[in-house]
């Protein structure tokens, strides 16, 4: 019996020693793992993610940033005026050119008719006076000249009417400004249009939208070239058959614009100017049907931030939720997103692994409670 007690006592001592050794090894491995994680960041080893104030922060060492080609840009202050997206249609200038040619022809005919009428009138007056004074000219001759004069007057009236009709047609179809340019300025503002250096754009506002006055300059995006500035000509009496909205004529550099091409037009509206920053196009990535950017909070930490794309501007998007001076990732954002989704977190795993780790810890604690209750 005493031998059995001594054996049990020895076994208990050995078990306690083994338990103490195991606990020491577990504590030491935890410290080693934390040290390795810190060295991984400083030496450019695979990144980690940490949770800070409910945000997932990607920790990426500077060496690995250089290898991955991560580039950032500092946001600069910007002002933005509310604008609306309108529709642009490049018009064929041929009808304007044909109208100008017709008007020139009509003016030539008017000049001839006026000259003939003037000559006929003078001849008629001369012969009429001769017939009245000494009857040297017969009445038939006077009547014949009178008929020619009346015919010339009729042709003059017809030529005047034709010119007036063309003027009214031009105003009805193109508005008073384009009509005046086309009919009265042979080398005026439309010369570049007829030479193919500029394009005439019919800008149509969204249906139901009315503005007190259109801006002098709008931005036209044809999708193939950088946005071009278009200059207001006048309101348009024409309408776009596919869009029922107010229409305006604008002139823009031709570049890649082709007749019949449809383009997006950004029309700034009168109103309060907002303060914010311009977010570059290259910084935006799409995830879960939403637009995001990565902000660099310090040398090795990056946070994903949701942004709005409701205010397009040249080269990017205007954003009021971002402050000038913040650094945004312009190259490599997709890599950071992949690392955020897949890289092990500082708590010991990816998102799914962390949940499993929590469940395992919970079940382990529960088991420990049961052991204590059994004891």
pLDDT tens digits, residue range 77-114?
888 877 788 999 999 999 999 999 999 999 999 999 99
Q: How far is residue 333's CA from residue 350's CA, in Å, rounded to a whole number?
A: 19
pLDDT at 54: 59
At residue 19, does pLDDT exceed 80? no
- Sequential DSSP letters for 209-223: ---SS--SEEEEE-S
Q: How far is residue 150's CA from residue 131's CA, in Å, rounded to a whole number?
A: 19
pLDDT tens digits, residue range 302-323?
999 998 887 777 788 888 888 8
Residue 280 near residue 78 (C-beta atoms within 8 A): no
Residue 340: which H helix or E strand, with range?
helix 333-342
The answer, as to whether pTM is greater than 0.85, is no
pLDDT at 84: 84
Rank 19-23, 109-113, 189-193, 313-317 by mean pLDDT and report only the highest: 109-113
At residue 14, does pLDDT exceed 50? no
pLDDT tens digits, residue range 49-61?
676 555 788 888 8
At residue 245, does pLDDT exceed 70? yes
pLDDT band at 272 (very low <50, low <70, confident <90, very high): low
Q: Mean pLDDT across the chain, nearest whole number?
A: 77
Strands (DSSP E) contained in the chain are 48-52, 55-59, 71-74, 77-90, 198-204, 217-221, 228-235, 247-253, 262-280, 285-287, 290-296, 301-306, 312-313, 316-319, 327-331
Q: How far is residue 281's CA from residue 267's CA, in Å, rounded to a whole number?
A: 20
**In a 10 Å sphere around its CB, with 0-12 CB exposed, 13-18 middle and 19+ buried, how is residue 196 labelled?**
exposed
pLDDT band at 343 (very low <50, low <70, confident <90, very high): low
pLDDT at 320: 84
Closest CA to 264 of 90, 69, 121, 56: 90
Mean pLDDT of 158-162: 94
β partners of residue 188: none
């Amino acid at each position: 019996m005493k031998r059995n007690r001594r054996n049990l006592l020895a076994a208990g001592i050995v078990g306690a020693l083994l338990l103490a050794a195991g606990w020491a090894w577990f504590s030491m491995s935890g410290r080693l793992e934390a040290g390795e994680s810190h060295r991984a960041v400083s030496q450019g080893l695979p990144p980690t993610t940490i949770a800070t104030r409910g945000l997932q922060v990607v920790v990426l060492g500077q060496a690995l940033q250089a290898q991955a080609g991560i580039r950032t840009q500092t946001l600069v202050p910007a002002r933005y005026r509310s604008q609306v997206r309108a529709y642009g249609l490049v018009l064929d200038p041929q009808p304007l050119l044909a109208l100008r040619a017709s008007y020139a022809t009509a003016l030539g005919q008017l000049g001839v008719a006026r000259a003939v009428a003037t000559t006929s009138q003078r001849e008629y007056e001369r012969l009429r006076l001769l017939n009245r004074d000494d009857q040297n000219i017969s009445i038939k001759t006077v009547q014949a000249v009178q008929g020619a004069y009346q015919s010339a007057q009729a042709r003059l009236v017809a030529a005047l009417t034709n010119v007036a009709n063309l003027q009214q047609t031009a105003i009805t179809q193109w508005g008073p400004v384009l009509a005046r340019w086309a009919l009265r300025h042979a080398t005026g503002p439309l010369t570049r249009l007829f030479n193919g250096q500029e394009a005439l754009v019919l800008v149509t506002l969204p249906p139901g939208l009315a503005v007190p006055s259109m801006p002098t300059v709008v931005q036209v995006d044809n999708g193939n070239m950088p946005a071009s500035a278009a200059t207001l000509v006048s309101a348009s009496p024409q309408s776009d058959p596919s869009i029922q909205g107010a229409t305006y004529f604008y002139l823009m550099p031709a570049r890649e614009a082709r007749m019949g091409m449809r383009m997006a037009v950004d029309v700034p509206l009168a109103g309060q100017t907002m303060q914010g920053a311009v977010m570059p196009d290259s910084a935006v990535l799409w995830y879960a049907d939403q637009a995001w950017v990565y902000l660099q909070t310090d040398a090795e930490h990056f946070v994903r931030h949701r942004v709005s794309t409701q205010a397009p501007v040249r080269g990017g998007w205007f954003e009021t939720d971002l402050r000038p001076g913040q650094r945004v990732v312009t190259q490599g954002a997709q890599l950071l997103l992949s690392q955020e989704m897949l890289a092990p977190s500082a708590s010991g795993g990816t998102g799914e692994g962390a949940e499993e780790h929590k469940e395992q810890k919970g079940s382990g604690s529960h088991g420990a409670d049961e052991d204590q209750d059994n004891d």
